[in-house]
């Protein structure tokens, strides 16, 4: 298979295992490119990409822009904070104006779940979801799984991954669950009862509320940030108490009888969900995830761009 089964990347839910594997093998080639002295290929010289960010981002935004430039695409960046959205312009009007400037592919982050799908059904350009509210963050899950593959090998069967923290508000958790399960891994979620969705077991994941037990079970722990900006009520008494029960520190990590891999999608709240000495330890692959993000996004954009009629 050398083509994706989808025309847009809205979520991992819509991808097949073969799609994910194709993205990984394409990313393998691009990872070689970005580690060469000349980190650029001319593949997308005739493609124009707009990065539309209606919500804050550091890693995803930089990573997409870098990926696009490494592929030699023309890139325009849009930030809602400094745009006419502030004057009342709607999403579709904003996008139509950008498309009138002959854009081929749109990468969008938006606070509303479903925004990327809405857009893909209304415009001619290809759409990549860079995170839509609490729904999905597909390229994050792809780069996370790709980073696990790099450490533990291509066969995910029997690999055990625990996602710890604010599962309820996390698009990263949902995309990771879909991605890891499609690849054959076992997934557990761990956190306070109030931050675990009631029906999550229906997705086929295990649920654990004791962090030590979860860590003893897993090969990989993906530590998530508490998304205070999406919480309208208080889900736990204090960050200090959360950290005592669900924060990963070096003492706990070293007390396990095996060496697990520690991941975090960022941004990290050091001292809350993860201590500094764990984030910076040799078991942490947090910066590998960031590096792999560029290769994965190059692969996604390259594969979707090959479907543009030109
Ligand atoms: N992991 C992630 O999405 O980070 P940003 O919010 O900084 O893009």
Dump pLDDT digits (tens) for 292-301: 999 999 999 9
The residue annotated as part of the active site, out of 31, 61, 70, 137, is 137
Res. 268: pLDDT tops 90: yes
Tens-place pLDDT, residues 245-264: 999 999 999 999 999 999 99
Residue 98 and residue 43 in contact, taking contact as beta carbons nearer than 8 Å: no
Tens-place pLDDT, residues 28-79: 999 999 999 999 999 999 999 999 999 999 999 999 999 999 999 999 998 8
Is 109 one of the catalytic residues?
yes
Which atom belonging to ligand 1 lies closest to the Cα atom of 131?
3
Q: Tell how far the Cα of 276 is from the centroid of ligand 1, in angstroms.
A: 19
Tens-place pLDDT, residues 152-182: 999 999 999 999 999 999 999 999 999 999 9
pLDDT at residue 233 in the model:
63
Is 59 one of the catalytic residues?
yes
CA 70: distance to chain centroid?
Answer: 20
Q: Is 271 in the pocket of ligand 1 (CB under 6 A)?
A: no
Q: Is 60 in the pocket of ligand 1 (CB under 6 A)?
A: yes
Distance in angstroms (rounded) separating the CA atoms of residues 259 and 34: 29
The residue annotated as part of the active site, out of 8, 109, 135, 297, is 109
Average of per-residue pLDDT values in the chain: 94
Q: Which one of 54, 57, 63, 129 would you pick to mutate in the ligand 1 pocket, going by the greatest count of ligand atoms within 8 A of its CB?
A: 57
Res. 227: pLDDT tops 80: no
Q: Tell how far the Cα of 62 is from the centroid of ligand 1, in angstroms.
A: 9
Q: Is 79 in the pocket of ligand 1 (CB under 6 A)?
A: no
Q: Which one of 55, 131, 225 would you pick to mutate in the ligand 1 pocket, going by the greatest count of ligand atoms within 8 A of its CB?
A: 131
What confidence category does residue 91 fall into, taking pLDDT thresholds of 50, 70 and 90? confident
In the β-sheet with 220-223, what is the strand arrangement from edge to edge? Answer: 206-208, 186-190, 160-164, 220-223, 261-263
DSSP 3-state assignment of 262? Answer: strand
Q: Is 158 in the pocket of ligand 1 (CB under 6 A)?
A: no
Is 134 one of the catalytic residues?
no
Q: Tell how far the Cα of 257 is from the centroid of ligand 1, in angstroms.
A: 32
Q: Which one of 108, 175, 230, 266 would you pick to mutate in the ligand 1 pocket, going by the greatest count of ligand atoms within 8 A of its CB?
A: 266
pLDDT at residue 301 in the model:
98
Average pLDDT over residues 208-231: 91
CA distance readout (Å), 227 to 100, 167, 235, 236, 269: 36, 9, 11, 12, 10
Q: Return the percentage of the chain with pLDDT > 90, whole number.
A: 86
Beta bridge partners of 164: 190, 223
Q: Is 59 in the pocket of ligand 1 (CB under 6 A)?
A: yes
What confidence category does residue 80 fall into, taking pLDDT thresholds of 50, 70 and 90? confident
Q: Return the percentage of the chain with pLDDT > 70, whole number.
A: 98
Distance in angstroms (rounded) separating the CA atoms of residues 73 and 95: 19
CA distance readout (Å), 134 to 115, 169, 173: 11, 5, 9
Which atom belonging to ligand 1 lies closest to the Cα atom of 109?
8
pLDDT at residue 267 in the model:
93
Residue with the larger pLDDT of the pair 310 and 104: 104
Q: Tell how far the Cα of 309 is from the centroid of ligand 1, in angstroms.
A: 31
Res. 235: pLDDT tops 90: no
CA distance readout (Å), 299 to 60, 98, 188: 15, 24, 28
CA distance readout (Å), 15 to 22, 117, 157, 185, 307: 11, 14, 18, 16, 16
Closest-CA residue, ligand 1 atom 6, reads 57
Distance in angstroms (rounded) separating the CA atoms of residues 279 and 274: 7
Q: Tell how far the Cα of 137 is from the centroid of ligand 1, in angstroms.
A: 9
What confidence category does residue 304 fall into, taking pLDDT thresholds of 50, 70 and 90? very high
What confidence category does residue 15 fall into, taking pLDDT thresholds of 50, 70 and 90? very high
pLDDT at residue 149 in the model:
98
What confidence category does residue 230 fall into, taking pLDDT thresholds of 50, 70 and 90? low
Burial of 32 (C-beta count, 10 Å sphere; 0-12/13-18/19+)? exposed
Is 60 one of the catalytic residues?
yes
Q: Contacts by 89-95 with C-beta closer than 8 Å and gap 24+?
A: 91/54, 91/115, 91/118, 91/119, 92/119, 92/122, 94/52, 95/52, 95/119, 95/122, 95/123
């Amino acid at each position: 298979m050398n083509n994706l089964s989808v025309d847009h990347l809205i979520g991992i839910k819509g991808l097949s295992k073969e799609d994910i594997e194709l993205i990984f093998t394409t990313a393998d080639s691009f990872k070689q490119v970005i580690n060469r002295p000349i980190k650029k290929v001319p593949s997308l010289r005739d493609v124009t990409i707009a990065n539309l960010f209606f919500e804050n981002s550091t890693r995803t935004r930089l990573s997409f822009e870098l990926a696009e430039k490494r592929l030699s695409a023309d890139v325009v960046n849009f930030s809602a904070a400094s745009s006419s959205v502030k004057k009342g312009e709607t999403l579709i009007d904003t996008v139509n104006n950008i498309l009138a400037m002959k854009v081929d592919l749109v990468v969008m982050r938006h606070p509303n779940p479903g925004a990327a799908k809405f857009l893909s059904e209304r415009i001619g350009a290809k759409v990549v979801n860079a995170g839509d509210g609490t729904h999905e963050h597909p390229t994050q899950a792809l780069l996370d799984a790709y980073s696990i593959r790099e450490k533990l090998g291509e066969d995910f069967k029997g690999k055990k991954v625990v996602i710890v923290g604010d599962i309820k508000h996390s698009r990263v958790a949902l995309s990771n669950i879909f991605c890891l399960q499609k690849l054959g891994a076992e997934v557990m979620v761990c956190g306070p009862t109030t931050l675990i969705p009631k029906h999550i077991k229906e997705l086929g994941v295990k649920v654990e509320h004791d962090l030590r037990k979860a860590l003893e079970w897993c090969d990989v722990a993906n530590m998530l940030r508490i998304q205070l900006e999406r919480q309208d009520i208080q889900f736990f008494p204090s960050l200090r108490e959360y950290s005592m029960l669900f924060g990963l520190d070096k003492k706990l990590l070293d007390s396990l009888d095996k060496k697990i891999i520690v991941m975090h999608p960022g941004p990290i709240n050091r001292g809350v969900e993860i201590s500094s000495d764990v984030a910076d330890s040799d078991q942490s692959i947090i910066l590998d995830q960031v590096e792999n993000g560029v290769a994965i996004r190059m692969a996604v954009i390259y594969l979707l761009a090959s479907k543009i009629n030109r």
